[in-house]
Structure 1
């Protein structure tokens, strides 16, 4: 069980490498929620993630012989980059095993920081097993992504910064994958500000900590399924779970659509790019996954910004769909002059903007004298979508909403 003294010691080792990241009041999110929301912008950390802190602290504690032998780790991406940079700065050789389907941007970044990257397995657990084989074969020190006291203490330096920069904080909201981040932050926050709540957030598709708390012992999931790849972990750590049980007030989950909305809203309203794992605290606030009061001072720890650009495109589109900003519908028209113009006239009158139109005269679902039409539309919100669909149906169109 790590204590405040461990986190304070970690700060002395970490502060020369990791940045003290901003914590700023958000007018936009405060207005949207009624709370006083102060995001902790760890997305602006070097490597784009908090993982640098724990990796730096762990590597700083290696003996001379361990430094000479090098380190190895497994990671979905952010811990990989943290270990790579921390090891390179300490002149320690590093090998990082990443899942075969890790985001390309994270793989390239890890290599650019100086690590040898090995791609292996479908998920983090498979990559971890391969990393332990390399550990045994080469005599390297394994740097765990979360279940290590020095790693937890390094991540806990974020908690010190939160309490110092926002001393009146009521609630801190933190992502949970393996649990190293929240274990460290909760240790620092509860020691410095005992009345402050610490809320953990997991993706619905990877709820190991939530299920473990419900059962009273650690539960290993059969699989994970979430866009938040940075917290797609099948099992919370043994050491981290002890801290979570003792110092975390509540653990909640959010869905992938809620995460997509948070990413999209952060990008649009705050001009801040956050990956899925880093966005879950804001998703929990927006979705009211836990109870909070008006003007409650809430600090969501936005702890990762390394989202794959292909994933970003998909996530933003899903976020627009979920908030009624994008609509794809299908309907059937008589295959005669003027039919499409009449449909477009209704859409135009309702002030929706057309992105694309596709005709299909060969669909087996339509008659020989009809044509199937799919239309992509820019809309202005859920009420606007409802009004448009009502008007189309009132005008005699049988409409299917595709997305």
Structure 2
């Protein structure tokens, strides 16, 4: 029996609340990637939805439950994708959504948050400064604070990805999950360990934002200094203890990858899968590139978790990869 905050029954029920636009996303074997990686690779495409990331699964649950409670106002801190997803789910249900983000967050994400009608406040500093400001707003205005990974809806929404992986016709040996705050890793990990315990759950984080991976290895919260990675979606510094406790129950490993491997993974997904993705979505491919021997002869699935990327930055990164 898994001792986590998540519940498999609630996760199954979540599928009835989440807009079907976010469910049953494509999962397919991508043979074009395989010669360069040395293993069989399946891609779970979480970008084929209105917000172009997996975050909508969780915000659909949050927004639905707020309406059930009679609440109309919600605020969150976001690196971009959570705020975008909450703005979409909130607009659909008539919620007043406020999003706090770093001024340095990708402009493409910030522009889409504004376009969806959310109130956007920008702060100097990183995601953790945005989180502090969101807490202040929630306390001062008396509104619901949505905290990614801390709020169980964000984890159990993401966990529905795990149900779809388990139900897939072709089983896999390992699933590679981008690791930031931990909502997707704990959610998918919980389902796999409950329903397909033989599948290895491997979390992947950048070397330049290693807080949660270091915490997993140390088995206690490790807070780091400023992050240094292009993978802004996973660039937190202060892990949440309750989330780490869940992750310790469901993850088999947490690995760190270099920036050049992330860029190489983005390039591989473009060249061999026709996918333009944000850096966080390439972490799984980066992990295989850095340790081909570990995955040789195995069938791995990687969750392509977002495609809200600043195109100028993307072209610069991919161009640099081409030069190398």
**Normalising TM by the smaller chain, what interval?**
over 0.9
| 1:104 matched residue in structure 2 | 107
Give matches, 1:67-86, under 5 Å. 67-68=71-72, 70-86=73-89
Aligned to 1:33: 37
- For 1:301 and 1:193, the matched residues in 2 are separated by 17
Cα displacement (A) at 1:166: 4.4
Q: Describe the SS at the equivalent of 2:71.
A: helix
User: Which residue of the other structure, out of 198, 201, 204, is the alignment partner of 1:198?
Assistant: 201
Q: Per-residue deviation at 1:15?
A: 4.0
Question: Which of 313, 318, 321 lines up with 1:319 in the alignment?
Answer: 321
- The aligned counterpart of 2:286 is 283
Larger radius of gyration: 1
The aligned counterpart of 1:248 is 251
Gapped regions of structure 2 (runs ≥ 5): none
Provide the C-alpha distance between the structure 1 equivalents of 2:200 and 2:49, rounded to a whole number of angstroms: 24
User: Retained in 2: the 8 A contact 1:206–1:232?
Assistant: yes
Q: CA deviation at 1:305?
A: 0.5
Distance verdict in 2 for CA 1:5–1:290, change over 3 Å: farther
* 1:55 aligned residue (59, 64, 71): 59
Aligned residues: 320
Q: Alpha carbon RMSD of aligned pairs, Å?
A: 1.5
Please list every run of at least 4 consecutive aligned residues from structure 1 whose deviation after the TM superposition is greater than 4 angstroms: 63-66
Compare relative contact order (CA 8 Å, sep 6+) and give the higher one, 1 or 2: 2
Matches within 5 A, 1:92-241: 92-241=95-244
In 1, Cα distance between equivalents of 2:193 and 2:68: 35
Unpaired segments ≥5 residues, structure 1:
323-403
Task: Quote the Cα distance in structure 2 between the aligned partners of 1:88 and 1:94.
Answer: 8
Distance 1:15 1:30, change over 3 A: same
Aligned-partner Cα distance in 1 for 2:227–2:283? 16
SS across alignment from 2:117: coil
In 1, Cα distance between the equivalents of 2:293 and 2:140? 46
- Output the CA distance in 2 between the equivalents of 1:7 and 1:132: 27
Q: Secondary structure at the match of 1:301?
A: strand
Provide the TM-score with structure 2 as the length reference: 0.95
